[in-house]
Every structure is written in C-alpha cells, then in structure tokens.
Structure 1
Amino acid sequence: MVISTSINDQRQNTDDVSQEMQLLTRNLVLNLTKHATKLAPVVSVTPNRNYCFKPTQRLLWFPAFPLENTVNKFVNTTKPLLTDQEFAETQKASEAFVKGCGRELQGLLERAADNSSNWLAERWLKTAYLQYRDPVVVYSSPGMTFPHKIFCSDEEFTEYTAKVIFGMLKYKQSIDENKVPVVKMGDNELDNSQFYRVFGTCRIPRQGEDDLKFCPKSKHVVVICRNHFYKLPVYSKEGKILHPEVIRCQLLSIWNGEKAAGCPIGILTSDHRDKWAKSYGLLKAIGNNKCSLEVIQSSMFTVSLDDSVPVDHPETANEVVSEQLIHGGGSKQNSGNRWFDKTIQVIVNRNGVNGFCYEHSPAEGQPIALMDDFVVDTLNKEDSFYDGSATDNYDGYEKINIETNPVVKKMVEMSGKNIDELAQNLHLKVLHYKGFGKEFLKAQKLSPDSFCQMAMQYAFYKHYKTPAAQYESAHLRIYHQGRTETIRSCSNESVAFAKAMVEKSDDATRVKLLREAVQGHQKYAKMAMQGQGVDRHLLGLKLMALENNLEVPAFFKSPGFVKSSQFRMSTSQVASVNHAFMCYGPLVDNGYGCCYNPRKNDMFFAISSWKSNSETDSDKFHDSLKSALDDMKEVLSKAGEKPKAKL
C-alpha cells in the first residue's frame, strides 16, 4: 500500500501508511528497540548494487525476530483458511518446528542478522526477482496510469510527451539534489535509497539469475518508435535540462521519420527470462549490437511513442490503458515497442493512453507513484517553470542500430507468439467506484486502506462462499535497505464480518464486526511495517536450510503453510490524487490481482485474473466488489453510528 504525495510535500507522509495509521504506529514503533537497537549508516556502494546519494542517513538494522512469536502469529493467521483437522496438523507441525530444527535455523538466521545491516535485502532481491524465471511482463512489472489525454495533432502528442520527459528530469534533479524528504515513523527515519535506484537502471538477462545494471549518471533517454530505437540526449553540454520545445522538435522528427515498423526486437524482453537470456547472448554477439544494447541499458529511462490502438467505447478505456501499460497489447500492437527490462518505461499512445510500466526489482511502488503525481503536476505549469532550461549547445538524437540474423528473427517470432498468448490470457477489469471515497470513511472513523481490504475480503467470500488468503504489501523502510513484508489480511475477524454480511445479520452486528475486522487488519499492518509479520521471517528460515544444505523442514509442507501462502488475492494500495491507478497480474493461477486507489470521493480498483482458469472471472469479481462496497455503505449509513474512539 502506498500513500503518494508531491516530492516537495513536507507533510511527512509515509509511503505505505495513511495518516490515521501513522498515529497508531507512532507509539508501537518504540517496541522495535527491544529487537533492533543497531543503527547503520547508508553507505556509498558500487554501481553493481544499491546506489544512494545520502550517506548521512542512519537507519535501523533488520533483526531476526524471536522464533516462537513468529510461529504463534503464523498459526493464528491460518485458522480461517483451514478445516479443524488441517489446523490441528498445522499446530502439531509448528510445535515440532519450534522445538526442533527451527531452533537451529533461527540460530543461523541470527548470525546472518548480526553480520549484515539487512540479512533479507540481497536474498529478497534474488529470490523474489532476479532468480524468478517467468516473464517480468504481467507476472512482475506493474503499469501506472496518467490521466487520459486527447491529442488533436502530432504536435500536441509530441509536446505532451516532451513535457512528461521534462517533468521526469526535474523529478530526478530533486532526487540528485537530496530534496526527497526524509520521512520518519516515530523517531526512526525511513530509508530513501529506493528513490535513487529507479533512474538509469536496467535488468540484464542471465541464465538462472539475472543481474542489475545501474547507470545513475546517465544523460540520455531512449525513444522507441515503431520498434526503432533512438538515443536522445536530454541535457546541454553545460549540463542543463533541455527545454521541452527542444525535446518536442526532436520527438516530432522521430515520429515523422521512419514510417515502416522495424523488427520488434523489444518483444524479446517480454519472454521467459531464460529464453530471453539465450536470445540476448545471440543478439549481443552480432556486429556492433553490444554497444547498441549498452546504450539502451544505460539510458535514464525509455520513452515509447506508440501507434494508436482502438478504444471502442469510453467504458473500456481503463482496460485499454491497463493492457497497453502492462504488456503493450501483443505483437500486433505495441509489445515490440518496449524494452521491458528498463526500470522505467514512459508510454504515450497517439490515442491519448499514457503512463508508466516499471520493472519491479530495484524498488517498490512509492518512487513511481510519487513520480506519477509529480509529473502530472508539472504538465500544467506556467512557462516560467521552464526558465533556466537549455535551448542550444546540445547533441541531437541518433538512431541506435540493432542488427539481426535469421536465428534472432526466429526467436523474435517465437517471443511474439508467447506475448500474444500471455496478453490474450490476462483478463483486466477496472472498477471506478463513485459511491464514496476516503471522506466518507474518515467521517465513519474507519481507515480507508483497511476498509478496502475488508471490502475485497467480503467480495471474495460473497462470490465463492469461502475466504481467500489475501496478500497486501507493507513497506519495511524503517530498516536499512528495507523492501516489503506481507500483511495477511484474511483473519478470524474478516471472515466473521464477511459471514455476517452474507447471512444478513442485523445492522448493528454487521457494523460491529466490520469495525473489529478493520481494527484487526490495522493491528497486523502495524506489526508488518515493523518487520514483525510472519512471511519474511519464515522465508529467512527456509533460506537458511537451503544455504546450509540442510533438509527443508516438514513445517513448510504443513496445510497451514501451503494454504496461507497461496494468495488468491494479491493486493496493494497505490494512492494518487489524480485520475490514475496501478495494475498488475494475479499472483497465483486461481487468484486475482487487485491494486486500488482510494481518492477523496471515489475509488479505483484494477482487477486482473487469468481467462484460462475456470475459477476466476474479473468481470464477475468486479460486480461482486461493487456490490460489496454498496452493501458496506448501506450498513454504515443505516446504522448512523458516530463512534467516539479514535483509531
């Protein structure tokens, strides 16, 4: 979940904590000192890993929390998902784990924690991303929308894109000049290093495990137009950002240049990582391609100038933009007009669809969401905003030539078939709910994030008559190099609430159970943001077994572990004041992805599922979620309760 603000905003909001959550967290965060008393300065490191401009920031080390506490919390999270027999088996396996091999693994983890400011950081990067072999497209990389535009001419199209590029460069300038506010949770600073890793970063395909390339001092972007690649320097020789008019003229020249589409080399980046690694090795060995590929990889970001795709009806516009940002629509549309390995891809379609696609491995969503709001805010600035930008003494764009041969072309063809199958299988549906937003929920003294989580729990239960293991991301930025922990949103309280709604209990009971479910979610979210969830700790213990050639304990095959880790609902809040939302694919075959943006008086939910799975249907879940939100509003309104307790 992400709270998005302007980069110059001094309100000190955290990226995963709404204001009411901050008030709750402020007191509990003091408990961290019992387990995490070390402080680690953020140090300057090699370009091969974490790049950061703030060597003076001091942050908590990430500890290995007590084993028994974690396992007890884990057992409690499994109960609503299990039969009585399965729960008994899980309890037995958990007790044996704590008393037996779990202790040895905990000792190994504690030693790892003593020798590193964050024992999880590198392991998470490798396990969750670089060693993950499915395509980054859909499976990993989200899309983030800008508000839809209408371009009446090519000039308007390129002018808008130029201003987006300029806004991106100003955002990077703010980062480079250390103007990203250092936010605190309680008395502790939150790690800002992710902000410094999104520009100039590219994932490099390798067999078995990818690599990351960091080029933070890059001075160019790569424009992709009709599958052709162009290097576009965006600074003058004196180091000033180019004026948008200078950028616009070059973009228009590129757009009006080669009309015939080139070989869609970029489509190779959409494939299975090992297949792409093989293609990459062959591609790099041809002619001067090694240098050409390095130009793409070392760019600050890419800019895709996309040919128009049809928007048949205004009601389907949100689905069209989701498809274009996540996968490009397939080989017959714009999937070849991409380089999916780049951390940031700016995408602007001639039909007005525009936004980001971002490769997830270097950072979480907050830098991207902040960038989205920052750039949109700059688009309507007065001309004085561009004062001081360069209008002369700059290098113009040049084409990046990438040679092919029959073998590479065959691989492009195969990758095209794979992305077509993937794009066709993904079922996207966006709910723009206009019944209420954060203002109504705040008046009810309910956390908007926790309320949305309970709405999705209820919607799933209403449709399937069974609860879903539900994943929500919580940031761990209170720790040096912290990434995320899992908020397990399915609880005994959430199931009790969902059952009461389905069984139409009296209004007072339903409101009472809703509040208890919201409070239960908030309690777990607070623990997760302190690193005291269960999923990362348990992952660490499993990795200790694997790294030390020990047998993976039977605990990890228990019904509770298996079922509670099968997240049929993969969710995240990515907040923006704009008409915008983030979208991504489902985490499991029979599940849903659901990213949401609760705004002042409305909400967006971007829902995804697989068409090939008979258990899921994004259209039906869309209707179930809308109905759930209507039901919850009706119950709250009828109850007319004015609670005294503050959250």
Structure 2
Amino acid sequence: MVTGALLFSSFSHFRRAWLPPVLTGPRRSYSQDDALSQYLHRSLVPTMHYQKSLPRLPIPKLEDTIRRYLIAQKPLLDEDQFRKTEQLAGNFGNGIGRELHDQLVAKDKQNKHTSYISGPWFDMYLQAREPVVLNFNPFMAFSPDPKPEYNNQLVKATNMTVSALRFLKTLRAGILEPEVFHLNPSKSDTPLFKKCIRFVPSSLSWFGAYMMNAYPLDMSQYFRLFNSTRLPKPKKDELFTDEHERHLLVLRNGNFYVFDVIDRNGDIVKPSEIQAHLKFILSDNTPAPAFPLAYLTTENRDTWATLRQELLDNGNREALRKVDSAIFCLCLDDFPIKDLNHLSHTMLHGDGINRWYDKSFNLILAKDGSAAIHFEHSWGDGVAVLRFQNEVFKDSTEFPAITPQSQPTACDSVRAVEKLNFKLNDALKEGITKAKQKFDATVKTLTLETFRFKRGGKEFIKTQKLSPDAVVQLVFQMAFLRQYDQTVATYESCSTAAFKHGRTETIRPASVYTKVCSEALARRLGKHSPMELRQMLTECSKYHSQLTKEAALGQGFDRHLYGLRCEAESQGISLPDFYKDQAYAWINHNILSTSTLSSSAVFMGGFGPVVPDGFGIAYGIHDNWIGCNVSAYPSRNALEFLQCVHKSLDDIFDILQGKEISN
C-alpha cells in the first residue's frame, strides 16, 4: 500500500471540501431523440473503477496529533492556560491516550473496508438533536444561465430536472466519469490513458493512476444523492434510500406533488411531458395549507421523531413513503429574488413552508429562475454535491432538454400528478404550530450579508507568490481582531476524499503567524517596514499551505482526537481529563467557521454560524475578485465584520502593491 508519506511527496495540490472536481468527462453530441440523451456522457472508465484500490485514511501518530494540537492552541491561550493544556496533553499522550490510540489502530486494521472516521462522523451528524436547517444544511446557488431567456422558471425547472435525471442514469449505469484529481492532465486525462487504465484490475487501478500523477477520489457518497432522506428517530436518525422509486417530489406553496419522471423501462420521461406536469403544478391555485407539514423538518430531531410517528399512526404512511423515496425535492417558489441578501435567506432557510429539509437535496427555483441546491449534510460532503451541481449546470446550459419556444405535451396531468394529502390530528396541528413559531423566531435573529472585493483576486495574489486561500484566511483573522480585539478558534473544512471513505479534516487557520501579522496590521503594533510586513505575509502563506497539505492527507489533529474520544465512549471509559480542559472546549467552539467554493456553476453559497456567537463565512476567491457571504446571530455584527474584512484586504493589497497603508 502506498503510504501517506509517499502521497505527500508528490500530491502538491489539494482539494478543499467545497472545491469543484475537475470536469473532464467526455461530452456528448446528439439530437434530442437520440438514446444517448438519457445520459450526460459515457465514460471509458467505469465510475467505481478506482474505489476498491483507494488508499486508506491514515491514523496520525499520537505524538504528531498532540504536537499539532498544542501548536493550534498557542495563539488562543495565555501562558498560564497554555501550560495547563500542555501538561494535560502530555499526560494524555503518555497515558490513557496511548491506550485509546492503540485500540483505535487495532479496530482500524479489522475494518479495512472503510476509514476510522467514517462511522463516528456519520454518528456525529445523525445523533445531533438540533434542527438540520441553519445548524447543518448549506446552500449553493447556481450561476444564471448565460442565455437570459432560459432563466424562465418553467423552462429552467424542466431543463435542470432532466439534467439531474441524466446524472442519475449516468451514475447508476456506471458510466459517469470517475472523480480524479489530475496533476498532469496532458498525460492522465487523455483517451489513451483511459483506454489503458480500464483494463487494469480494480484492485490495482489506483496505482496505475498514481503512476501518471493522477489521484482518484472516493465516490462512496454518491449513491445517497438520489431517492434519499434523513429520517428522524429518537436519539439517532437514520438515512433511508430506495433506488427503485421513479417519482419526483415537487413542493409549491407548501403543497406536495409527485409524478413519475422515470418510466417503467428505466428511461427519462419525455422532457415535454415533465414540462407539462410542472406547468400544471405552477398553475394550481390551491392556497398554502393551514398547517404546512414542512415545518416539522425544522424541529428538534427528537420532537420531530415523535411527531413523525404520530403522522405514521394517523394514516400517513403511504404519503410519507412517497416523500422519503422521491428521487429529489424540487421547490418552486412564487416570488422573484430581490437582491443577494434575499437570495441567501431564500436558499438557506426560506419560509419553512416550501422545503423538505430532510431530503438529500432540495433543488430550489424562484419565480425569476434563480436556482440553488440546499442539501442535508449527514450523508455526504460538498465534493459530491458540487460535482452534481457542476454537471447539471453544464448539461442544462449546453444541452437543454427544452427551449423557451418548446410547447408542453398534451397529456393528462390531472391523472399523472398526484397531490399528497396528509391527515392531521390535534397533536400534529399543535406540533406544526409550535415548529412554525420556533422557526420564525430563529430566522428573525439571523443576519446574512454579502460582500465583493474588486481590487483583485487569485491571479494577482499568485503573482506575489502567496497562497490566495492563506491570504483570505489571514484577512478573517485580521478582521475579527480589528472588530473584537481577539484571536478565536477558526475552522476551515478540507476534504480527505483522496482516501477510501474519507470525509473531512479541519484546517486551523488561526496560528502564531497570523496572530503576529494581524496585530502588526490591525493593531499597528510595532513599526514594521514594508519588507518586514511582506515577510510576515509570506510566513503566513507558507504555514497555511503546510496545514492544508497535512489536512488533505489526513494529518490534522481534529478527527484523530475525535476518534479517540469516541473510542473512550465505546469502551465505557470515563472522559479523560484532556477532553475536560476548558481550552479543548474553546478550540472546538468555532467562532469563525469558514468554507470556500469556486466554480463557474456556482454564483454564491452560504451556511449558518455553527455556534450562537459565531460567524458562518462562505467565500470564493475568483480570478479578479473575492466574495464573502457571512451569517450571524445578534451577538455578532456581520456587516461590521465585512467592513473590517474590506479594510484588511485593502491593507494587504496596499502592501503587495507597494503603497502606504491607510489608517
């Protein structure tokens, strides 16, 4: 087996959890009646060809984990606090931590079909009792179709639905291009290489790709994209998938509709027929229900589990089964998007009536054609969802199933489209009313603010031999210090999809380097020359790049420490003192939670703060501009934070461009 060290030596560019896959699948060319119109493309290499031979996620050495943990604690603690934490960490590493580590390694060796973090990570999500909306589910908004007339709600909903179904069929037929990170595309992303690698046994295929500097990525999450729902259960939810069902779930004005989009032969229903059914739904004047059922998916999970059982017992089993097993949920909103903040609020949480937050994903289309994916997070990470979004955007814009001039098929939508009716007793009505009250009260407290910095982006930063991501993460440190005079726990998500059943690892952007640099710029501590300030930027960039590489290779500390804690719980061992340390609680109270995405298919994204006194920071670093979408509750001021971000970016760009820093 190729070791992490060998990977580290050559895998010099890394994928963050929100970064897009490289879309290299062979593109098709056909008439609309061609049988190939059922698929996105036909890959020479089977979709799961590399899965069997993917390297396993390594468990870091315990001493490395403790060393990295203490380094990350350094900028967050004073000297006395750090000494205490250092002592507790030393005792843990030499005592119970060593025992737990050995047990974790032994268990990992017995479960070579998966990763050591996969089970605990699923449990972490599914055991969480907080509502999924705002606490876990993010959104990613689509870029508008470059042809304005195709942004009509009905046209776009039809085209995106058909493209999503093409993705489904391509995936299930095993002809979706495998997810591969190409370091040298001219050698590995070629027809010749693909013709050769497909004959290499799947048990060895990863090594063949590796020899060409290509890195296949884990695709084990993909099957949960479709026909999947998170089901509320007492204490721990369940993931449900039924790949045999052929219907789409459509929500409009809080009403539920289902109709088949795959026929009995397994083919996609004619696009003009899908268009006709969606037009029928859009023309339905039925008002919103007095007690909109969707509010229940905004509830505490135990509360929702109790109410769901009440629903089942009250004669709604078949209707719920159709909701849970639907291919996905298409949400048609009856209003246009006013501005970027309205877009964020609409796609992140909406009004609670027209979403089913437990579905693997909701495809949302506003009246003006603004579109987004809102997804439930327990089943998978941003890599799988963004691959889907990229493919749907590309297919629906380059190979649209219908045109603005297309006419719906004359068909009997009254019979084909079923409106689901739910029987509600007094207990359910009361549950929905309470859910609505709590949801509305929470949403009122949430602020979302967007920002664009137009002086430059990754192109200019790279000319300065700096990491664009490192610069932007430093900016967040500077901004928070400028606003609140503190350096706080910061989280940046990093994908470990280079390994079998990898999930994510944490990059810890707050470092001694960012703290010194932030204090020099935000607090104006010391009289530093332009050369000294530039050297500080270089040190921050180098260290952040190191952290990113380590995280992508499973060499962070967060997942390892979490795995050891779960191991103690599974063994019935009382919580070690190391985990009772206040400093451990602080570093896991991520006031700055950050995630980046960059794709031509994505207009913007967003998510809620992960703690009540935190910021949720979705950002994109584009060629010539930088964008942020920040969420906060009343204890934090998102608009003021973005003003500090703007000032911090100006300071850094002034330094890089040899200008005087303005006060």
Range class of TM-score, shorter chain? 0.7 to 0.9
| Cα distance change, pair 552–245 in 1 and its aligned pair in 2 (3 A) | same
Shift of 1:443: 1.9
Corresponding residue number in structure 1 for 2:319: 292
Which residue does the alignment assign to 1:426?
A: 446
Task: Determine if contact 1:151/1:350 at 8 Å carries over to the other structure.
Answer: no
1:261 CA drift (Å): 1.3
Determine which of 125, 133, 150 is the counterpart of 2:122: 125
Give the conservation status (yes or no) of the 8 Å contact 1:7–1:181: no
Q: Which of 54, 60, 64 is the matching residue for 2:59?
A: 64
- Determine if the alignment matches structure 1 residue 138 to structure 2 residue 134: yes
Cα distance in 2, alignment partners of residues 215 and 299 from structure 1: 8
* Equivalent position of 2:391 in the other structure: 374
1:156 corresponds to? 152
Task: Tell me the CA shift for residue 147 of structure 1.
Answer: 3.1
> Take 2:54 and 2:602, find their aligned partners in 1: how far apart are those partners?
35
Please name the residue that 1:320 is paired with: 342
Please give the residue correspondences for 1:252-267 in structure 2 after superposition, counting only pairs within 5 Å. 252-262=279-289, 263-267=291-295
Per-residue deviation, residues 394-415 of structure 1 (Å, max 9, x unmatched):
9832222222122211111111
Which residue, out of 492, 495, 498, partners 1:472? 492
The equivalent position to 1:197 in structure 2, one of 224, 232, 240, is 224
Tell me whether 1:183 sits opposite 2:211 in the alignment.
no
- Could you tell me which amino acid in structure 2 is paired with residue 259 of structure 1? T
Q: Secondary structure at the match of 2:494?
A: strand
Residue 609 of structure 1, CA deviation? 0.9
Residue aligning to 1:594? 617
Which stretch has the larger CA shift, 419-428 or 596-605? 596-605
1:549 equivalent in alignment to 2:577: no
1:211 Cα deviation after fit: 0.2
AA of the residue aligned to 1:341? D
Q: Secondary structure at the match of 2:451?
A: strand
Contact 2:152 / 2:369 at 8 angstroms: preserved in 1?
A: no
C-alpha change, 1:91 and 1:169, in structure 2 (3 Å) is same
Shift of residue 384, structure 1, vs aligned partner = 7.9
1:603 is displaced (CA, Å) by 2.3
Return the offset for 1:596: 1.0
Equivalent residue for 2:186?
Answer: none
Q: Which of residues 68, 82, 91 in structure 1 aligns to 2:86?
A: 91
Query: How far off its partner does 1:83 sit?
Result: 0.3
Residues 258-291 of structure 1, C-alpha deviations (whole Å, 9 max, x = no match): 431123101110111111111111011112x111
**Aligned partner of residue 152 in structure 2, secondary structure:** helix
* Contact 1:474 1:529 (C-alpha < 8 Å) held by counterparts: yes
The alpha-carbon distance between structure 1 residues 155 and 8, as it changes in their structure 2 partners (threshold 3 A), is closer
Superposed counterparts of 1:114-513, under 5 Å: 114-117=109-112, 118-127=115-124, 129-147=125-143, 156-176=152-172, 177-184=174-181, 187=210, 189-262=216-289, 263-287=291-315, 289-308=316-335, 311=338, 317-328=339-350, 330=351, 335-381=352-398, 396-504=416-524, 505-513=528-536
- CA-to-partner distance for each residue in 1:354-374, whole Å, 9 max, x for gaps? 211100011101222222232
Q: CA deviation at 1:152?
A: 11
Is 1:4 paired with 2:27?
A: no
When normalised by structure 2's length, the TM-score is: 0.83
Tell whether 2:73 aligns with 1:73: no
| Separation (CA, whole Å) in 1 of partners of 2:474 and 2:218 | 29
Separation in 2, partners of 1:248, 1:571? 39
> Secondary structure of the residue that 2:398 maps to in structure 1?
coil
The sequence identity of aligned pairs, in percent, is: 27
Deviation at 1:53, TM superposition (A): 5.4
Secondary structure, in 3 states, of the residue corresponding to 1:193? coil
Q: Is the 8 A contact 1:63 1:110 kept in 2?
A: no
Structure 1 residue 196: deviation in Å?
Answer: 2.6
Cα displacement string for residues 480-509 of structure 1 (whole angstroms, at most 9, x for unaligned residues): 111011111111111111112124433221
Larger deviation, residues 87-96 vs 182-191: 182-191
SS in 1 for 2:598: coil
Q: Structure 2: give runs of 5+ residues left out of the alignment.
A: 1-15, 28-46, 184-209
Query: 2: distance between equivalents of 1:594 and 1:222?
Result: 31
Per-residue deviation, residues 519-541 of structure 1 (Å, max 9, x unmatched): 10110111111111001111111
Superposition deviation, residue 548 in structure 1 = 0.8
The one-letter code of the counterpart of 1:189 is P
* Alpha-carbon distance between aligned partners in 1 of 2:600 and 2:461, rounded to the nearest angstrom: 16
- What is the aligned-residue RMSD (CA, Å)? 2.7
Q: Match of 2:363, SS?
A: strand
After TM superposition, give the deviation of residue 54 of structure 1 in Å: 5.2
Gaps of 5+ in 1: 12-51, 312-316, 641-647
Residues 1:336 and 1:153: Cα distance change in structure 2 (over 3 Å): farther
Q: Is contact 1:151-1:157 (8 Å) kept?
A: no
Query: What is the Cα deviation at residue 557 of structure 1?
Result: 2.1
Contact 1:511 1:639 in 2 (8 A): no
The structural deviation recorded for 1:432 is 2.3
CA–CA distance in structure 1, aligned partners of residues 337 and 146 of structure 2 = 13
The CA deviation string for residues 176-211 of structure 1, in whole angstroms up to 9 with x for no partner, is 233233315883532112223212211000011000
| C-alpha distance 590-209 of structure 1, shift in aligned 2 (>3 A) | same
User: What secondary structure sits across from 2:54 in the alignment?
Assistant: strand
Alignment partners' CA distance in 1, 2:244 and 2:627: 36
Q: TM-score, normalised by structure 1?
A: 0.85
Secondary structure at 2:221 match in 1: helix
Q: Is the contact made by 1:94 and 1:555 (CA closer than 8 Å) also made in structure 2?
A: yes
**Residue 609 of structure 1 is aligned with which of 632, 640, 650?**
632
Q: How big is the shift at 1:439?
A: 1.5
SS state at 1:223 partner: strand
Distance in 2 (CA, whole Å) between partners of 1:448 and 1:155 is 33
In structure 2, relative to structure 1, the CA distance for the partners of 1:492 and 1:9 (3 Å cut) is: farther
Q: How far apart, CA to CA, are the structure 2 residues paired with 1:7 and 1:235?
A: 26
SS of structure 2 residue aligned to 1:241? coil
The separation in 1 between residues aligned to 2:590 and 2:390, in whole angstroms, is 30
What CA distance in whole angstroms lies between the structure 2 residues aligned with 1:174 and 1:510?
52
Secondary structure of residue in 2 paired with 1:337: coil
The corresponding residue for 2:542 is: 519
Q: Which moved more, 1:99-108 or 1:61-70?
A: 61-70
Pairwise CA distance, 1:151 = 13
Cα gap change, 1:424 to 1:226, in 2 (>3 Å): same
CA distance in 2, matches of 1:189, 1:230: 39
C-alpha contact (below 8 Å) 2:276/2:411 kept by paired residues:
no
